RNA sequence: GCGCUCAUCGUCUAGCCUGGUCUAGGACACCGGCCUUUCACGCCGGCGACGGGGGUUCGAAUCCCCCUGGGCGUACCA
């Protein structure tokens, strides 16, 4: 067995087996416990994926534990489809977790207990103010230039009228709350900025800022890595940890991802769903590599495999400023991984796309060979599939312009010669094909430029394809001959 | 409005903590060239930034202050 942190502590088994998520205890097990806690109100988006990735990487690097928790306290907006979509996306990216998924909706009993505990100890209270009253107060405060925070009307109320109520946490009103963020440094808030936040709604369900504390504490999370849109929540959560007698974890707030207009990344900036990129023909390693480099760096290096990252990732190299999502660079990375990827693996992926395109690949050339001719010229798997199409479907017609230029009567002679030379081939290896074409050139006295383009149009239907030699070799003698004959028949 | 936060090429960033080695490095994109049977790949080259103003210092991208600009938050969403 082999330590997944790719250290030198090879367990003495042969062959070595890498077991994701399994580490040699002595060297790598640490008490680090991190988590990813998405709320299932949609697909896994770029930002969430990066947060998950950072958590995953740190856990793997330190030999810690990565926990997945589903934040579905908002019963209205949470759906099972979203949960599935998120799980699927994480799997695609290769982000395995050690514990979970844990559902907050299944822990309401626990939260209720904690609410009661705070109510009893006087650290929380029932608030009977209606939504309308609150809205009015907020508006009023804003108008007077004040802070739109709850004014504490019910804070010291002692009666318990038979009215709907929410439970509010008694936030400290004096002093300051501060914490040392692992990424941003010391952050401090004056407590008079805090108002008494609602921890339990009228319908009895708990709210985010409350459950997140309980869960992180109960699950033993000691480092919370999350988006920096949560920085403002942190000083509200810390007093809750304290009120409940929990130890406050460390925090690491990672900067947000913005769109090209520097606004928070959203649908109008294009695809933001991780899985949408899979559909567009992106490789997961390209997505992981892109995501990690957005906000993190390691000298001048650009290319990182997951194993590299587990070895090299560190919160120390995470930047403090927000980053703009740049699809061009993602594309470049995808191109890179297609170029350097294992053709057999790529073939499996391309086969799926081809199937979706209703292209029947049975009886055609070996897809792995096909992929190899396309690796240097495709930026996405979808592009590759489209480029592979002609290998399996003989051209039904020829591109008009191309035919007018390259499939003319005066090409008959050389095309017939090509057919002759090719048909004499014993195999269609690349070497043999090259020799055949050389012979054609010699006998006809023509340069390749006078022959190749015509052959290309005959074989693929247009003027764009991999090298002619490769195409002929991969397509195979019989199919090439058939297509050439067909083109010959169309001449004139 | 208030609070928090951020600030190096168009974009991602190195450098900043421990001032001089920075006429600021790399990558994407873009432009030009080479290679070439098409399209690509590849290779070579180019364009291009320390937001502004004050300090401190012999010397500041690096330290301090102010300004400006951006982001986030300000929900019975998470």
**Interatomic CA–C1' length for residue A375 and nucleotide B41, angstroms:** 9
Tell me which residue has tokens 């090439």: A480
ipTM: 0.95
Residue A149 — pLDDT band, cuts 50, 70, 90? confident
Strand B reaches within 7 A of the A464 CB: yes
Strand B reaches within 7 A of the A65 CB: no
Percent of chain A with pLDDT over 70: 93
Query: According to the model, what pLDDT value does residue A73 have?
Result: 85
Nearest residue to nucleotide B11, by CA–C1' distance, is A326
**Interatomic CA–C1' length for residue A91 and nucleotide B30, angstroms:** 36
List the catalytic residues of A: 267
**Interatomic CA–C1' length for residue A48 and nucleotide B14, angstroms:** 26
pLDDT digits (tens, 9 = 90+) for A201-213: 999 999 999 999 9
Tell me which residue has tokens 């904690």: A114
pLDDT reading at A387 higher than 70: yes
Residue A224 has which token pair? 């919370």
Percent of chain A with pLDDT over 90: 69
Query: According to the model, what pLDDT value does residue A29 have?
Result: 65
Q: Among A151-155, A185-189, A338-342, whose mean pLDDT is lowest?
A: A151-155
Show Cβ contacts of residue A420 under 8 Å, excluding neighbours closer than 6 positions: none
Instruction: State the Cα–Cα distance between residues A41 and A189, nearest whole angstrom.
Output: 30
Nearest nucleotide, CA A294 to C1': B12
Residue A239, preceding peptide bond in cis (omega within 30° of 0): no
**Interatomic CA–C1' length for residue A304 and nucleotide B56, angstroms:** 42
Strand B reaches within 7 A of the A132 CB: no
Residue A134 — pLDDT band, cuts 50, 70, 90? confident
Q: Which nucleotides of B are covered by protein (CB under 7 A)?
A: 1-8, 10-14, 25-29, 37-42, 70-78
Query: How many Cβ atoms from other residues are within 10 Å of residue A241's Cβ?
Result: 16
Residue A178 has which token pair? 């501060």
pLDDT digits (tens, 9 = 90+) for A182-240: 999 999 999 988 889 999 999 999 999 999 999 999 999 999 999 999 999 999 999 99
**Interatomic CA–C1' length for residue A72 and nucleotide B34, angstroms:** 59
Residues 283-302 of A with CB under 7 A from strand B: 293-297, 299-300, 302
User: C-alpha angle A111/A112/A116, rounded to 5°?
Assistant: 120
pLDDT reading at A20 higher than 60: no
* C-alpha torsion A349→A354→A360→A361, nearest 10: -40
Instruction: State the Cα–Cα distance between residues A440 and A421, nearest whole angstrom.
Output: 7
Query: What residues does A190 pair with on adjacent strands?
Result: A176
Cβ(A373)–Cβ(A467) below 8 Å:
yes
Residue A217 has which token pair? 């504490």
Residues 15-44 of A with CB under 7 A from strand B: 39, 41
Strand B reaches within 7 A of the A438 CB: no
Residue A492 — pLDDT band, cuts 50, 70, 90? low
pLDDT reading at A414 higher than 60: yes
pLDDT digits (tens, 9 = 90+) for A321-337: 999 999 999 999 999 99
Strand B reaches within 7 A of the A131 CB: yes
More confident residue, A140 or A349: A349
Handedness of CA A289, A326, A347, A470 (dihedral sign): negative
- Whole-model pTM: value is 0.91
**Interatomic CA–C1' length for residue A322 and nucleotide B16, angstroms:** 18
Query: According to the model, what pLDDT value does residue A21 have?
Result: 40
Instruction: State the Cα–Cα distance between residues A185 and A181, nearest whole angstrom.
Output: 5
Query: What residues does A312 pair with on adjacent strands?
Result: none
Q: In the predicted model, what is the mean pLDDT of residues A481-485?
A: 92
**Interatomic CA–C1' length for residue A172 and nucleotide B20, angstroms:** 49
Nearest alpha carbon to residue A50 among A237, A204, A240, A272:
A272
Q: Among A7-16, A165-174, A434-443, whose mean pLDDT is lowest?
A: A7-16
Residue A22 has which token pair? 């399994």
Instruction: State the Cα–Cα distance between residues A189 and A235, nearest whole angstrom.
Output: 7
C-alpha distances (whole Å) from A284 to each of A45, A220, A273, A278, A290 are 14, 30, 13, 7, 10
Strand B reaches within 7 A of the A164 CB: yes
Residues 352-391 of A with CB under 7 A from strand B: 376-377
Nearest nucleotide, CA A190 to C1': B3
């Amino acid at each position: 067995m082999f330590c997944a942190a790719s250290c030198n502590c090879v367990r003495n088994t042969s062959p070595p087996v890498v077991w994701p998520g399994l580490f040699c205890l002595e060297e790598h097990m640490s008490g680090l416990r991190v988590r990813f806690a998405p709320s299932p109100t949609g697909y896994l988006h770029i930002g969430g994926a990066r947060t998950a990735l950072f958590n995953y990487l740190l856990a793997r690097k330190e030999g810690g534990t990565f926990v997945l928790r589903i934040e579905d306290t908002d019963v209205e907006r949470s759906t099972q489809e979203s949960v599935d979509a998120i799980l699927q996306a994480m799997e695609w990216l290769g982000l395995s977790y050690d514990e979970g998924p844990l559902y907050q909706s299944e822990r309401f009993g626990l939260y209720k207990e904690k609410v009661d505990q705070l109510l009893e100890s006087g650290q929380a209270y029932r608030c009977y103010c209606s939504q309308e009253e609150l809205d009015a107060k907020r508006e009023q405060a804003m108008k007077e230039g004040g802070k739109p925070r709850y004014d504490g009307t019910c804070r010291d109320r002692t009666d318990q009228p038979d009215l709907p109520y929410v439970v509010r946490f008694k936030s400290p009103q004096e002093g300051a709350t501060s914490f040392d963020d692992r990424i941003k440094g010391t952050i401090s808030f004056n407590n008079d900025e805090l108002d008494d936040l609602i921890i339990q709604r009228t319908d009895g369900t708990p709210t985010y800022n409350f459950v997140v504390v309980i869960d992180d504490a109960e699950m033993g999370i000691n480092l919370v890595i999350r988006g920096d849109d949560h920085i403002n929540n942190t000083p509200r959560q810390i007093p809750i940890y304290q009120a409940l007698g929990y130890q406050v974890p460390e925090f690491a707030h990672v900067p947000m991802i913005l769109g090209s207009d520097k606004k928070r990344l959203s649908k109008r900036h294009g695809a933001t769903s991780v899985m949408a990129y899979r559909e567009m023909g992106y490789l997961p390693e390209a997505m992981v590599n892109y995501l990690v480099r957005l906000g993190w760096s390691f000298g001048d290096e650009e290319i990182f495999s997951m194993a590299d990252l587990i070895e090299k990732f560190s919160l120390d190299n995470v930047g403090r400023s927000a980053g703009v999502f740049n699809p061009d660079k993602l594309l470049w990375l995808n191109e890179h991984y297609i170029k350097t990827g294992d053709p057999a693996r790529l073939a499996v992926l391309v086969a799926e796309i081809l199937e979706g395109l209703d292209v029947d690949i049975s009886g055609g050339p070996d897809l792995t060979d096909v992929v190899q001719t396309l690796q240097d010229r495709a930026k996405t798997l979808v592009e590759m599939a489209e480029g592979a199409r002609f290998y399996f479907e003989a051209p039904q017609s020829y591109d008009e312009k191309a035919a007018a230029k390259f499939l003319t009567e005066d090409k008959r002679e050389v095309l017939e010669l090509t057919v002759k030379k090719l048909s004499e081939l014993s195999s269609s290896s690349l070497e043999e094909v090259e020799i055949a074409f050389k012979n054609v050139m010699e006998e006809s006295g023509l340069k390749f430029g006078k022959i190749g383009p015509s052959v290309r149009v005959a074989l693929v239907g247009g003027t764009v394809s991999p090298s002619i030699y490769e195409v002929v070799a991969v397509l195979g003698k019989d199919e090439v001959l058939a297509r050439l004959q067909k083109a010959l028949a169309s001449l004139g």
